[in-house]
Amino acid sequence: MKIETITVRELQIPLVHFFETSFGRTYHRQILLVKIEGEGLTGWGECVAGENPYYSSEWIDSAWPTITKYLAPAFIGKTVAQGREAPSLMAKVRGHRMAKAALENALWDAEAQARSVPLWKLLGGSRREVSCGVSIGIQDSHEQLMDKIATELAAGYRRIKLKVKPGWDLDVLEKVRARWSDITLSVDANSAYTLDETEHLRNFDQFHLLMIEQPLWNDEIYYHARLQKELRTAICLDESIEHARDAAFAAETGACRIINIKVGRVGGFSEAKKVHDVCLANRLPVWCGGMLESGIGRSHNLALSTLENFSLPGDVSASKRYWEEDIIEPEIEVSQDGFITVPDVPGRGFRVCEDLIDKLTVKKEVVRTG
């Protein structure tokens, strides 16, 4: 497709329930969407950057000028037939992976439509059903957390992941395990601990967790290798893995036994596929992480999750857990036994609700020739 216009917009959408991690609480999302148009084709992408530079240095207000001033102009007037051509067109810009992913993924989205194949098939996927877990944030009280877990288990989710931090960890796990001794349970620390706390982290071993996600620094792999030697619980890396070389380094050093792949964090579908392949070659199972995406990012996560090494339940859960009304149709739904069926239709498989998107838009810029 010859790219004519790229529309960048920011939407404000309240979350159904606040989401709290070790770095803070979110009540509403600012969703950055890109729409790439040319020769009658339209591709959509979502930039998963947060409202603040806490999960990563990249955030919504850094992504906006990076996309409008540097990344989008690199595509205007060019003929790009395949999503995989996108990284080389953006290579001059260092970092800003979430911004890059929004554009690259929009091109894969358009390519799948142009070729009349499902996006998941174009990505090389084979799974027709994706296994779902949920990520449950830090709550106001233990009771509120127990209620949330009960609700999600009743909805059929196959893995419960709890956010933890010092002061919201061992007591919580003790209560949860006392009530549900054999559910598949994991925790995510979002870098809330240091290597000095190894003795404390060793206490997590008694709870038979599927994994502990990102216990240490966001930009550190080697010290996770040191920690993994001290723990029985498998470490899963999230923040530390920014590209396939990081995954290779983590595998080589034994820094983790599982990797969480977020397509935005690694810069787009091409790099996500590379991370997947490195993990497969090193026998590290992966799962698809989430960033509280709208339906557009969620549909892309779903497509990615069909690749063979996504063998653990991901954080790709139902639209209604996050939004009163999602911006795609049909909304993403999870079956009573905790699976999402991947649509076998061309493209992303979900219609984008442009009227609703217009209503939710608070900022918009169109990048075009001249």
- Tell me which residues touch Mg ion (CB under 5 A): 188, 213, 238
List the catalytic residue out of 35, 100, 163, 165: 163
Structural contact between residues 157 and 332, judged by C-beta atoms closer than 8 angstroms: no
Q: Which residue type occupies 263?
A: V
DSSP three-state, residue 179: helix
Instruction: In angstroms, give the least distance from the CB of 238 to Mg ion.
Output: 4
| The token pair that represents 36 in the structure block | 């790439």
**Looking at beta carbons, which residue is closest to ligand OSB?**
290
Alpha carbon distances (Å) from 131 to 56, 137, 156, 310, 333? 27, 20, 10, 9, 12
List the catalytic residue out of 100, 161, 262, 273: 262
Q: What residues from 209 to 238 belong to the interface with ligand OSB (CB under 6 A)?
A: 238
Instruction: In angstroms, give the least distance from the CB of 125 to ligand OSB.
Output: 20
Of the listed pieces 3-11, 119-127, 268-276, 289-297, which binds ligand OSB according to CB under 6 A? 289-297
Compare residues 103 and 211 and give the one whose CB is closer to Mg ion.
Answer: 211
Q: Is 364 a catalytic residue?
A: no
DSSP three-state, residue 75: coil
| The token pair that represents 367 in the structure block | 């990048």
Q: 162, 292, 296, 307: which one contacts ligand OSB (CB under 6 A)?
A: 292
Cβ count near 85 (within 10 Å): 16
Q: What residues from 322 to 351 belong to the interface with ligand OSB (CB under 6 A)?
A: none
Q: What residues from 41 to 70 belong to the interface with ligand OSB (CB under 6 A)?
A: 55
| The token pair that represents 64 in the structure block | 């906006």
**Beta-sheet strands, E only, within 63-188:** 129-131, 134-136, 160-163, 185-188
Distance, in Å, from the CA atom of 304 to the CA atom of 368, rounded to the nearest integer, reads 30
Alpha carbon distances (Å) from 157 to 209, 256, 303? 16, 24, 19
The torsion angles phi and psi of 163, rounded to 5 degrees, stand at -75, 135
Describe the crossing of helices 244-253 and 222-230 by its angle, rounded to 10 degrees. 40
Cis peptide before 215 (omega within 30 of 0): no
Instruction: In angstroms, give the least distance from the CB of 291 to ligand OSB.
Output: 5
Q: Does residue 315 touch ligand OSB according to CB under 6 A?
A: yes
Compare residues 1 and 334 and give the one whose CB is closer to ligand OSB.
Answer: 334
Instruction: In angstroms, give the least distance from the CB of 326 to Mg ion.
Output: 22
Compare residues 110 and 292 and give the one whose CB is closer to ligand OSB.
Answer: 292
Structural contact between residues 211 and 234, judged by C-beta atoms closer than 8 angstroms: yes
Of the listed pieces 28-36, 112-120, 219-227, 288-296, which binds ligand OSB according to CB under 6 A? 288-296
The entry of ligand OSB, Mg ion, none that residue 270 binds, CB within 5 to 8 Å by partner kind: none
Compare residues 240 and 270 and give the one whose CB is closer to ligand OSB.
Answer: 240
Q: What residues from 125 to 154 belong to the interface with ligand OSB (CB under 6 A)?
A: 135
Q: Is 121 a catalytic residue?
A: no
| The token pair that represents 351 in the structure block | 């219609």
Of the listed pieces 73-81, 286-294, 325-333, 353-361, which binds ligand OSB according to CB under 6 A? 286-294
Which residues sit at the interface with ligand OSB, rule CB under 6 A? 21, 55, 135, 188, 190, 238, 289-292, 315, 317
Residues annotated catalytic, as ranges:
163, 262
